């Protein structure tokens, strides 16, 4: 059983902060998610490895245990150490094998598909390893490190499973209308609705799809952490949108209707007065983003007039523009 360098898996230093751990996890989880790498057979293994590292380093208690026992495990292996029972009798109980009062561990496997967490994780965290489908766990004969988790000797404490986070990127159009995503969780394929008005940082809860509970406790939840991709046509500030409304110089001078695009592909028409200057901003009430959690409410859309000058002028058009220039008192060029 090989030592797992969880810090190396996430590409962070051993003194990384909680924020740095979460940022590294989100980046790697998005990069290696199997749904994003359907042609890469190794992506799922890498994704599991990243999740396992985050499972340990995001939990202060597990991280403390890993920093202590994990490094000792590595040293034990480098010194030609034997099996796991010998290690835990020496290091886990803080005594030499066979010493009175030492922890007596036996390991068993059960269930199906014991591949959610690595052997290293399951040996290191004992009953915590029962979150994996393999059913690993120590049977205590007294003592040991289960007390670090507040459990009573001889039986695990009932605890709720940990929550998982999954970064999900959506387009502005999807945030405008609401959308769905399909996820493969274990042997289930579930469809999750992402509500209209979602912003970057919005967390969508999927109840009961996190880590399994410990000692008969309830499972944790899965949270989709939304990232709304930038859009080249629309600028978003909360529920407010801003976009350019292109118009001809003639409409800007004489007044008329200007077409204003919406994120769902439709358009609305804005009437502008004569002599509207380039860059003038008009508010269209209720045409912005939906207000998250209040689907009947919307923010405002601001249309910024973008005057498009004519090109490929004919001789006649040039002559007329010269006449206009003279009428404005600007003289010949």
Nearest in space to 206 (alpha carbons), one of 230, 187, 222, 226: 222
Task: Tell me whether residue 143 is exposed, middle or buried, using C-beta atoms within 10 angstroms of its C-beta: 0 to 12, 13 to 18, 19 or more.
Answer: middle
> pLDDT per residue over 29-65, tens digit each?
888 887 777 777 788 888 888 988 898 899 888 888 7
Span 59-74, pLDDT tens digits: 888 888 778 766 665 5
- Domains assigned to the chain: 6-149 (1.10.287.110), 164-228 (2.60.260.20), 234-327 (2.60.260.20)
Residues across the chain: 333
Range in 84-93, 104-113, 278-287 the model is least confident about: 104-113
Q: Over the chain, what is the mean pLDDT? A: 78
pLDDT of residue 224: 93
Place of tokens 């890993």: 66
Please tell me whether the overall predicted TM-score, pTM, comes out greater than 0.75 for this model: no
Mean pLDDT, to the nearest integer, of 152-174?
80
Task: Work out the average pLDDT over 247-255.
Answer: 95
244: nearest Cα among 256, 253, 232: 232
Cα 135 from Cα 11, distance rounded (Å): 29
Residue indicated by tokens 């409409």: 251
What is the predicted pLDDT for the residue at 148?
36
- What whole-number percentage of the chain has pLDDT above 70? 71
């Amino acid at each position: 059983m090989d030592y797992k360098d969880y810090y190396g898996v996430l590409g962070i230093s051993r003194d990384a902060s909680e924020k740095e751990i979460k940022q590294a996890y989100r980046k790697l989880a998005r990069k290696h998610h199997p749904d994003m790498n359907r042609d890469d057979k190794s992506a799922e293994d890498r994704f599991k490895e990243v999740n396992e590292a985050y499972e340990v380093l995001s939990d202060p208690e597990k991280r403390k245990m890993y920093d202590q026992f994990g490094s000792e495990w590595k040293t034990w292996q480098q010194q030609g150490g034997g099996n796991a029972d010998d290690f835990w009798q020496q290091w886990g109980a803080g005594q030499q094998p066979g010493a009175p009062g030492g922890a007596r561990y036996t390991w068993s496997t059960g269930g199906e598909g014991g591949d959610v967490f690595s052997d290293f994780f399951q040996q290191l965290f004992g009953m915590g390893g029962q979150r994996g489908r393999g059913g690993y766990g120590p049977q205590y004969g007294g003592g040991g490190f289960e007390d670090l988790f507040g459990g009573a000797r001889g039986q695990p404490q009932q605890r709720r499973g940990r929550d998982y986070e999954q970064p999900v990127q959506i387009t502005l159009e999807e945030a405008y209308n609401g959308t769905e995503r399909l996820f493969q969780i274990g042997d289930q394929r579930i469809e999750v609705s992402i509500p209209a008005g979602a912003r970057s940082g919005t967390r969508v809860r999927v109840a009961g799809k996190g880590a399994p509970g410990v000692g008969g406790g309830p499972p944790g939840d899965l949270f989709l952490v939304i990232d709304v991709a930038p859009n080249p046509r629309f600028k978003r500030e909360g529920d407010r949108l801003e976009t350019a409304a292109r118009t001809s110089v003639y409409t800007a001078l004489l007044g008329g209707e200007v077409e204003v695009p919406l994120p769902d592909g439709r358009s609305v028409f804005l009437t502008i007065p004569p002599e509207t200057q380039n860059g003038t901003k008009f508010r269209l009430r209720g045409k912005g983003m939906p207000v998250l959690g209040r689907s009947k409410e919307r923010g405002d859309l601001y249309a910024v007039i973008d005057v498009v000058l004519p090109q490929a002028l004919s001789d006649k058009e040039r002559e007329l523009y010269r006449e206009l220039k003279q009428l404005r008192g600007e003289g010949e060029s």
